[in-house]
Structure 1
Amino acid sequence: MSAQIEDPLTEHELSTEPVFDGKLLKVKRDQVRLPDGKQSMREYVRHPGAVAIVAVMADGRLVFERQFRYPLRRSFLEVPAGKIDPGEPILACAQRELREETGFQAAEWLHLGQIHPCIGYSDERIEVFFATGLTEVGNALDEGEFLEVLSLSPAEARAGVLEGRITDAKTIAALYLAEPHLR
């Protein structure tokens, strides 16, 4: 067996302390040893992880949501997505979120990959899925969740990204990962 070679850019945690412990997010402050042996501080957000779904209707149109996002004080066009519950398998989360938010169930699921949307300040990961064979079964929004469900053709979605109408990073990345399956 060969020994694993450590990345020379690795920073080593020396100590950690909680800064904020919220319902969704937790903020930590760590003291770290840098690659040159000096010390520094890192503050970052711990996130439970999420899923995002590129869902394709029978006519080839993609399911989108328009949802108000409080931190930026405006509504955004996004693919369906949601937080992974503790211990929840990622596919089960994707199936649950698609149904709850859009009212669709999918017959076929493909895991497209994982993205890290905020690597400079968060450990969040988003598991991206491609869903086809949709059947409308009725939504079940969480309390306090408000959104509009709409559909865009793949060409309209691409144009929305290029023209700045779709700026949500997870949506842009998910569309990119789904592109080979949309042709």
Structure 2
Amino acid sequence: MDDKHLIEEQVSREEVYKGRLLHAVKDTVRLPDGKLATREYVLHPGAVLVVPLLPDGRIVLERQYRYPVRQVMIEVPAGKIDPGEDLLSCAKRELLEETGYSGAEWAYAGKIAHCIGYSDEYIHIFFARGLTAGAAQLDEGEFLDTILATPEEFLAWCRDGKVNDSKTLVAALWLQNILSGAWKLDWRA
């Protein structure tokens, strides 16, 4: 399929803001018809999410206050990739830091671009099983509760709007398809 009639080409870039977390830029682009336009967006190093599965079938989730939406959210464990960090190492680190669990087996499911209108961030999806409980190692200033839910409870929370975080809803889609046998994972120790 030829996409040339859709592609925009970067002409220049202006840094709008660079903070500890956010890096916003404004690019001038050449549209497919030759005209110029601007695109403002956030550069992001990427992140991982983890769907941790306990031997009894329950899922490890977390509850965390998210200031931008002024709400306590139910989420899967997730976090930003550090410079030079590989994806699996990041997934293992985030699961341990946020929940205290370590996984014996891991499976990479794919990636999502969840904010394509204003960010270049991809979130990589991992599943973990063979979990061993331990103590969470939260970052300074990070506060969250670890909770457990059956797949049925978790999916009902998604259906009812109790879970409305986009990455967690995508994790629920993956979980539902894996549990039904429609999608397969390649598990590795």
Which band: TM-score by shorter chain? Answer: over 0.9
Tell me, in whole angstroms, the C-alpha distance in 1 between the residues paired with 2:136 and 2:153: 24
Shift of 1:139: 1.0
Tell me, in whole angstroms, the C-alpha distance in 2 between the residues paired with 1:7 and 1:147: 46
Amino-acid identity (%): 52
- The amino acid that maps onto 1:27 is A
| Structure 1, 84-93 or 7-16: larger mean CA deviation | 7-16
Shift of 1:161: 0.8
Aligned pairs for 1:119-158 within 5 A: 119-158=116-155
Q: Which 5+ residue runs of structure 1 have no aligned equivalent?
A: none
Checking the alignment, whether the CA contact within 8 Å between 2:4 and 2:32 is kept in structure 1 is no
Q: TM-score, normalized by length of structure 2?
A: 0.92
Superimposed CA distance per residue, residues 35-66 of structure 1 (whole angstroms, 9 cap, x where no aligned partner): 11111110000011100001011110000000
Checking the alignment, whether the CA contact within 8 Å between 1:24 and 1:48 is kept in structure 2 is no
Tell me, in whole angstroms, the C-alpha distance in 1 between the residues paired with 2:3 and 2:60: 43
Aligned pairs for 1:18-97 within 5 A: 18-97=15-94
Aligned pairs for 1:172-183 within 5 A: 172-183=169-180
Tell me, in whole angstroms, the C-alpha distance in 2 between the residues paired with 1:107 and 1:179: 22
Checking the alignment, whether the CA contact within 8 Å between 2:66 and 2:73 is kept in structure 1 is yes
Tell me, in whole angstroms, the C-alpha distance in 1 between the residues paired with 2:174 and 2:97: 23
Shift of 1:180: 2.9
Checking the alignment, whether the CA contact within 8 Å between 2:42 and 2:120 is kept in structure 1 is yes
Q: Which 5+ residue runs of structure 2 have no aligned equivalent?
A: 181-189
Partner of 2:183: none
Name the SS of the counterpart of 1:136 in structure 2: coil
Checking the alignment, whether the CA contact within 8 Å between 1:112 and 1:178 is kept in structure 2 is no
Tell me, in whole angstroms, the C-alpha distance in 1 between the residues paired with 2:50 and 2:4: 33
Checking the alignment, whether the CA contact within 8 Å between 1:20 and 1:28 is kept in structure 2 is yes
Normalized per residue, which structure has more strand? 1
Name the SS of the counterpart of 2:56 in structure 1: coil
Tell me, in whole angstroms, the C-alpha distance in 2 between the residues paired with 1:74 and 1:136: 27
Shift of 1:181: 2.5
Residue among 96, 99, 103 paired with 1:99 = 96
- The amino acid that maps onto 1:157 is F
Tell me, in whole angstroms, the C-alpha distance in 2 between the residues paired with 1:180 and 1:32: 39
Count, aligned residues: 180
Partner of 1:109: 106
Shift of 1:179: 2.4
Superimposed CA distance per residue, residues 126-156 of structure 1 (whole angstroms, 9 cap, x where no aligned partner): 0000110000021111000000000111111
Tell me, in whole angstroms, the C-alpha distance in 2 between the residues paired with 1:41 and 1:14: 10
Shift of 1:5: 5.5
Q: TM-score, normalized by length of structure 1?
A: 0.95
